Amino acid sequence: MSANTNPLFGRNWELTVKGPINTASNTQDVIVLSSSTFTQALRVTFDIRTVWFQWYWTADIQIWNPNEQVANFLLSQGNTSSNTAQPTTPAAGGAPIQQGMEVILKAGYANPGIIWDGFVLQPMFDRINQTDFVITLHCIVGLDENSRNTLGMVFKAQTDQLEIVKQMAASCYHPLSAGFVAPGLAGKTFSRAKVVFGKPGKYFTEMARSNNMQWWLSQKGLFNVGDLSKNFPSTARYTFTPTTGIVGTPQQTQFGVNCRLLLNPNVVVTNPPMAIKIDNTVIQQLQKNVGDLPSATSILSQSGTYVVVGARYTGDTRGNDWYTDVTGWLTAFDKVAAIATATGVQFDRP
């Protein structure tokens, strides 16, 4: 197992909010609410959930005990605000945080990376006790692009499905930027002309299912279509051990393994998917029962490679939490190979 060269000390973070673009002056307010570089940084806690399927990516980012000036900026409907949220910064023009504003959170150790880039759904205020209150930015990815989106188009017969998907993504009311669209759609056509009207997600789902694929929206609403089994990588991007980032004991699941890492922004849900490597000897295995078939007892990867299909980031800039919780799946080949080994069947990798 190769060592992880990333230093696992010295927490770093930066929480930024981007205001709406001023069409008259073509300018945009960029407000840094808290940063590890500030001399008096506000406490920030976060819980970010990302997953490799058709579920919304969400984030709850809390800012603790901002002064009155900053609190007014976050919650008011037009008060002046500071361009940086340090208490000593003088007021300057700006717009309060509202639904639809972009929120970017970087976190990590020596080299923090982006763990969230999405949009505010709702800013909320809560008083925890007599001395502490928090402002929560409840954020989401894909709300406008999925549930608040429409299109109306007509495609002639024999139009390539890959071309249809790309045109629908680019032409709907809230255009979708292409992250990764599997080339497997190319060459497949509809025998008749096709009319599409209403929510684009309905038609994306229809074509994805007919090709044994999935579609979903990732960071900033990037549009992805892919075959979850054919796109599985054969080699791991990163290797983790108890001395290079694993916290506690990884747990075997029906589909692979769940593990907790010290916060690592490099471990992300992406397409094509990312794989990580874990030593199987440190994984707590599921208990087997007499009579269970190999396919029903959940088999560990022979190579120790697992595909990242879910990543949850939790952190507290003044607390203990600073983790990445990974949901890992076996690759299709690993699962077939393990079952074949258990049953004595011999086969070659394609």
Instruction: For the chain, give the secondary structure using H, E and C.
Output: CCCCCCCCCCCEEEEEEEEEEECCCCEEEEEEEEECCCCCCCEEEEEEEEECCCCCEEEEEEEECCCHHHHHHHHCCCCCECCECCCCCCCECCCCCCCCCEEEEEEECCCCEEEEEEEEEEEEEEECCCCCEEEEEEEEECHHHHCCCCEEEEECCCCEHHHHHHHHHHHCCCCCCEEEECHHHCCCECCCCEEEEECHHHHHHHHHHHCCCEEEECHHHCEEEECCCCCCCCCCCEEECCCCCEEEEEEECCCEEEEEEECCCCCCCCCCCCEEEECHHHCECCCCCCCCCHHHCCCCCCCCEEEEEEEEEEEECCCCCEEEEEEEECCHHHHHHHHHHHHCCCCCCC
What pLDDT is recorded for position 262? 94
Average pLDDT over residues 115-140: 88
Do residues 150 and 216 share a domain? yes
Average pLDDT of the chain to the nearest whole number: 79
Average pLDDT over residues 244-255: 89
Asked whether residue 348 is domain-assigned, the answer is no
Calpha distance 91→70 (Å, rounded):
9
Do residues 126 and 18 share a domain? yes
Do residues 49 and 87 share a domain? yes
Asked if pLDDT for residue 62 goes beyond 70, the answer is yes
End-of-domain residue from the set 141, 176, 194:
141
What pLDDT is recorded for position 288? 75
Domain membership of residue 159 as a residue range: 145-226
Position with higher pLDDT, 311 vs 290: 311
Do residues 179 and 89 share a domain? no
Asked whether residue 16 is domain-assigned, the answer is yes
Asked whether residue 122 is domain-assigned, the answer is yes
pLDDT tens-digit readout, 164-204:
888 888 888 888 877 677 777 777 788 888 888 888 888 88
**Confidence class of residue 345 from pLDDT cuts 50, 70 and 90?**
very low
Asked whether residue 245 is domain-assigned, the answer is yes
- In a 10 Å sphere around its CB, with 0-12 CB exposed, 13-18 middle and 19+ buried, how is residue 278 labelled? buried
CA 245 vs CA 3, 30, 51, 229: distances in Å: 10, 33, 21, 27
Task: Identify residue 274 by its one-letter amino acid code.
Answer: M
Asked if pLDDT for residue 126 goes beyond 90, the answer is no
Average pLDDT over residues 107-118: 91
Which of 348, 303, 346 minimizes the C-alpha distance to 328? 303
What pLDDT is recorded for position 45? 96
Position with higher pLDDT, 170 vs 2: 170
Do residues 248 and 306 share a domain? yes
* Total number of domains in the chain: 3
**Confidence class of residue 110 from pLDDT cuts 50, 70 and 90?**
confident
Which of 124, 44, 125, 86 minimizes the C-alpha distance to 313? 44
The predicted model scores a pTM of 0.81
What pLDDT is recorded for position 323? 96
Chain center to CA of 271: 11
Asked if pLDDT for residue 339 goes beyond 60, the answer is no
Do residues 325 and 221 share a domain? no
Asked if pLDDT for residue 139 goes beyond 90, the answer is yes
Asked if pLDDT for residue 129 goes beyond 80, the answer is yes
Asked if pLDDT for residue 208 goes beyond 50, the answer is yes
What pLDDT is recorded for position 15? 94
pLDDT tens-digit readout, 72-106:
766 664 333 333 443 333 333 445 777 888 899 99
What pLDDT is recorded for position 83? 38
Structure tokens at 305: 């490679």
End-of-domain residue from the set 141, 164, 199:
141
Asked whether residue 333 is domain-assigned, the answer is yes
End-of-domain residue from the set 110, 141, 172:
141
**Confidence class of residue 342 from pLDDT cuts 50, 70 and 90?**
very low
Do residues 270 and 333 share a domain? yes
Do residues 244 and 219 share a domain? no
Do residues 220 and 244 share a domain? no
Asked whether residue 263 is domain-assigned, the answer is yes
Q: Identify the CATH number of the domain in which residue 202 sits.
A: 3.55.50
Task: Identify residue 348 by its one-letter amino acid code.
Answer: D
Position with higher pLDDT, 58 vs 280: 58
Asked whether residue 6 is domain-assigned, the answer is no
Do residues 99 and 154 share a domain? no
Percent of the chain with pLDDT over 90: 25
End-to-end Cα separation, the chain, in angstroms: 26
Asked if pLDDT for residue 296 goes beyond 70, the answer is no
Average pLDDT over residues 319-332: 89
Asked whether residue 349 is domain-assigned, the answer is no
Range picked from 2-11, 110-119, 191-200, 333-342 for highest mean pLDDT: 110-119
Average pLDDT over residues 39-52: 91
Do residues 219 and 277 share a domain? no
Do residues 192 and 275 share a domain? no
